[in-house]
A = this chain, B = another copy of it.
Amino acid sequence: METFLKNSLPFWGQLTDGERRLLLDTLQLHTYEKGTILYHGSGECTGVQMILHGRARVYINSKDGKEITLYRLLDGDVCMMSAACMIKSLNFSISFETETDSEIAVIPRHVYEKLNSENMFVKNFTLEMVASKFSDVMWLLEQLVFSNMGQRLAGALLEQRALCGSTTLNVTHEQIATDLGTAREVVTRLLKQFQTEELVSLSRGKIHLTNEPALRTLAEQ
């Protein structure tokens, strides 16, 4: 656990012995099943969450059920949004849920708040973390405004490819649609087109990428 913290929290080496002990003593460990919603809202404080092992998806959703994925959290990643209460000016509503069975460590709100307010290195980490997710969201925004669906779909397929480590993706059109914030029918339509262009081959619940370079070319511009 200590080596995990050392790797995920760059300020670990700058903490006092007391701070390190406090952190270790109050750290909570949880195991969640795939599909568990870990956070939903804007101001609450569940504390700072760290993915020990697993995968989570951070997204926004509207009243009428539409949603779009903002970014993903993988092994070792830290989710600062669930500690939004510590940052007055951070006021928007997000949700996140596990995409695989996951082990998650939580630094309780009051502990992180204390570290953050008294230790410059922690404060700096918080800033870098927020800035990093800001950058992710800006990337998404650019995609939304400047790219067409074909390019975005190609990007989404390649992301899934990286996530599962295989050219055969076990995802439904529906899942990709919610990633992209569009409708399933749109994804189906485009995938069929991709298939006639021999970029992918389709079967129920699976998408096999047959021409990754072409997809990359499509996505990257």
Contact = CB atoms under 8 A, between A and B. Distances in A.
Interface of A: 60, 62, 66, 68, 87-92, 94, 120, 123-124, 126-135, 137-142, 144-146, 181
B128 A131 contact: no
Give this chain's copy count: 2
A138 B138 CA distance: 9
B62 A127 contact: no
Given A60-B141, A145-B181, 9 more contacts: A60-B138, A68-B145, A87-B127, A88-B128, A92-B134, A94-B138, A123-B127, A126-B127, A133-B134
Contact of A137 (B126, B141, B146): B141
B66 A139 contact: no
Q: When A and B form their complex, which 5 residue pairs have the shortest distance between CB atoms, in order from nearest?
A: A89-B132, A92-B138, A90-B131, A62-B146, A89-B131
A137 B94 CA distance: 13
A68 B143 CA distance: 12
A134 B90 contact: yes
Contacts of A146: 62, 66
A113 to B, nearest CB: 13
Contacts of A94: 138
A89 B135 contact: yes
Given A123-B124, A139-B92, A134 B145 contact: no
Given A123-B123, A124-B123, A137-B137, A87 B131 contact: yes
A131 B83 CA distance: 12
B145 A60 contact: yes
Nearest to A88: B128
A96 to B, nearest CB: 14
A189 to B, nearest CB: 19
Contacts of A139: 92
Contacts of A126: 127
